[in-house]
Structure 1
Amino acid sequence: MVLLKAVFVFLLVIFSNWVVVSSEFVSEKTAEYVTKDEMNKVLELVKIQDQRISDLKTEMTKKNMEINRFDIRVAELEMRVLEQSKKIAELEANDKNEIEQLRGTETKSQHTSGAQLAYSTSSYRVDQEHKIIEGESTGNEMKQRDVATGHYQRRSIQAQVAFSAYLSHFQDHLGLHQTIKFDKIITNDGNAYNAVTGIFTVPVTGTYVFIFYINSSNSNVVFRLMANNALKASGVSRPAVLNQIKDVQGGGMVVLRLNQGVAVWIENANADSIVYSTDENRWVTFSGFLLY
């Protein structure tokens, strides 16, 4: 009986171990199949994620390129703004200098005119006294001669206003109504002409003569002489055939009665005009003088 119980227990233990081993075997096989299936799904997901990452990298590269282009454009704009700011500052400084020069010229002209007027008045009085004395001693013939002498003396004082200047370089693309700056001065008695601005400022009221010449071979050029913002004379250089070898020169002359302080200048009447003038060939000139 005891032996049977022992055999039974032995068999029961063996069966229990067999069941456990079988369960573990089944579990391992099942786990193995599940892991492969999941692994395939994971691999698929990994591929999808890799593709997504690749797409994102491509998109990011494009965005970075666009950002770089924007950065370059911004840098160019900033440089352009800086250059324009410098140019504006230079223009403002030039305008300030020109205004100061004009004011200095006007002040000097006023002082010169005042001195000339005082000297002229004094000379006139001396002449009158001289005429009276000479007239009493020598008669009417000496009077007339002294009157002529006094008139000549006063004219010689006033006639110290004359200028002549020329353009020393080739100039193209002249703008409409652009003032021509005759930059090289030949004569400037009275310092009434400003080579920086191209403007002659009348230093004393009187009658003036102005002469100007222009030259071109490949464009129709029209210059206008302006006084007190009004057209006073015109000159034209109009080649029969544009771009020809021979140059064509034209010009104008005018006599004007002008008050002190009036500005006189030459301006271009056609856009994109081209004129030729150099130090060796002074074909573009502007001159004027006080007649009486």
Structure 2
Amino acid sequence: MSIMECQWKIFCLIFGIIGIMNGVLCLTEDEINKIVETKMEEVIEKYDRKIALLEEKIHAQDVKIQILEKKCSTPALSAEKENASLKHATSDHRNDTDTQRKTHDNHIRIVPGDPGLVAFCSYLTTSEVSPSLHHTFVFDSVKTNLGSAYNNNSGMFTAPADGMYVFTWTIFSGYHSYVYTQIVVNSDVFDYMITDSEHVSDFHSGTKVIVVSLNRGDLVYVRTHPTSLSQGSINSGVNSGQPSFCGWKL
């Protein structure tokens, strides 16, 4: 390669570098800030998704631990309940015999109540602004709780026996809001709902009903979506309505 060719290649390389530097220097401060901001938003969004997934896994493990702890603490209680049930059955049999006699004599039909009845209905008494991801709702005002299966401190229903259950939940979205909710059995999402009043200056309500087979000790609760963030507020008011969570055993 001749000296002239080497000099020419060096000249072209220097000229190219100067061109690139000029291009970079031509960017305004606002353009540079916008590029940096876009990159930062992408990174933050990526890690937000990772954090949400990790929180969901942690919550699922917590639910499993609660189930195991409950199962470990039930053997002694089960024996006591079986003895109590046997005594109750003997007493019921005597009462039924007396009832049948009275029915035959007086032509009155008496239907005894079911001691295994399970039903609850609870309401959210305060509005919640900008609920976070993976947020479990605690419906604190209990109107009905036959069987004491609903806990208004944790917001969770614990199945007292195997069987078919019905659950329903209602959510009110505030002005210009939308709310993603899910009903969860243990750590599995059974159904979901969006209550949307984003484009109106009014409250909107949404209600869902499910029928599900549960085993004794299964947990059921309502929460926000773990990855889709709700916008605005969940409204609760005496006049406009209160979010609710209700259920009963068939």
Same fold, TM-score > 0.5, yes or no? yes
Distance 1:129 1:187, change over 3 A: closer
Once the two structures are superposed, residues 179-237 of structure 1 have per-residue CA deviations (whole angstroms, 9 ceiling, x without a partner) of: 01112111122222111211111122222111100111322212111011111122221
Partner of 1:286: 245
Distance 1:165 1:218, change over 3 A: same
Instruction: State the distance in 2 between where 1:187 and 1:130 align.
Output: 27
Instruction: Give the superposition deviation at 1:115.
Output: 6.4
Partner of 2:133: 176
Partner of 1:247: 203
Once the two structures are superposed, residues 106-154 of structure 1 have per-residue CA deviations (whole angstroms, 9 ceiling, x without a partner) of: 69x969876665555456567779999xxxxxxxxx9xxxxxx9xx75x
After TM superposition, list the pairs within 5 Å mapping 1:207-246 onto structure 2. Answer: 207-216=164-173, 217-239=175-197, 242=198, 244-246=200-202
Question: Quick check: which has more Rg, 1 or 2?
Answer: 1
Partner of 1:34: none
Once the two structures are superposed, residues 1-30 of structure 1 have per-residue CA deviations (whole angstroms, 9 ceiling, x without a partner) of: xxxxxxxxxxxxxxxxxxxxxxxxxxxxxx
Structure 2 gaps, min length 5: 1-65, 98-103, 105-109
How well do the aligned residues superpose, as a CA RMSD in angstroms?
3.9
Instruction: Give the superposition deviation at 1:271.
Output: 1.7
* 1:198 is aligned to 2:162: no
**Amino acid of the structure 2 residue aligned with 1:260:** R
**Amino acid of the structure 1 residue aligned with 2:215:** N
Partner of 2:229: 271
Partner of 1:259: 215
**Is the Cα contact below 8 Å between 2:119 and 2:147 reproduced in 1?**
yes
Once the two structures are superposed, residues 26-65 of structure 1 have per-residue CA deviations (whole angstroms, 9 ceiling, x without a partner) of: xxxxxxxxxxxxxxxxxxxxxxxxxxxxxxxxxxxxxxxx
**Amino acid of the structure 2 residue aligned with 1:178:** H
Distance 1:283 1:131, change over 3 A: closer
Instruction: State the distance in 2 between where 1:185 and 1:284 align.
Output: 12
Instruction: Give the superposition deviation at 1:275.
Output: 0.7
Instruction: State the distance in 2 between where 1:218 and 1:190 align.
Output: 39
Distance 1:114 1:218, change over 3 A: farther
Number of residue-to-residue matches in the alignment: 175
**Amino acid of the structure 1 residue aligned with 2:202:** K
Instruction: State the distance in 1 between where 2:95 and 2:156 align.
Output: 41
The percentage of counterpart residues that share the same residue type is 26
Instruction: State the distance in 2 between where 1:118 and 1:236 align.
Output: 47
1:244 is paired with a residue whose SS is coil
Instruction: Give the superposition deviation at 1:245.
Output: 2.1
**Is the Cα contact below 8 Å between 1:220 and 1:236 reproduced in 2?**
yes
Instruction: State the distance in 1 between where 2:201 and 2:234 align.
Output: 14
Partner of 2:122: 165
Instruction: State the distance in 2 between where 1:173 and 1:226 align.
Output: 21
Instruction: State the distance in 1 between where 2:247 and 2:234 align.
Output: 21
**Is the Cα contact below 8 Å between 1:168 and 1:282 reproduced in 2?**
no
Instruction: State the distance in 2 between where 1:266 and 1:127 align.
Output: 38
Which one has the bigger helix percentage? 1
Q: Which deviates the most, 120-129 or 184-193? A: 120-129
**Is the Cα contact below 8 Å between 2:172 and 2:241 reproduced in 1?**
no
**Is the Cα contact below 8 Å between 1:171 and 1:276 reproduced in 2?**
yes
**Amino acid of the structure 2 residue aligned with 1:164:** C
2:142 is paired with a residue whose SS is strand
Instruction: State the distance in 2 between where 1:114 and 1:243 align.
Output: 57
Structure 1 gaps, min length 5: 1-101, 133-141, 143-148
Instruction: State the distance in 2 between where 1:231 and 1:247 align.
Output: 26
After TM superposition, list the pairs within 5 Å mapping 1:44-83 onto structure 2. Answer: none
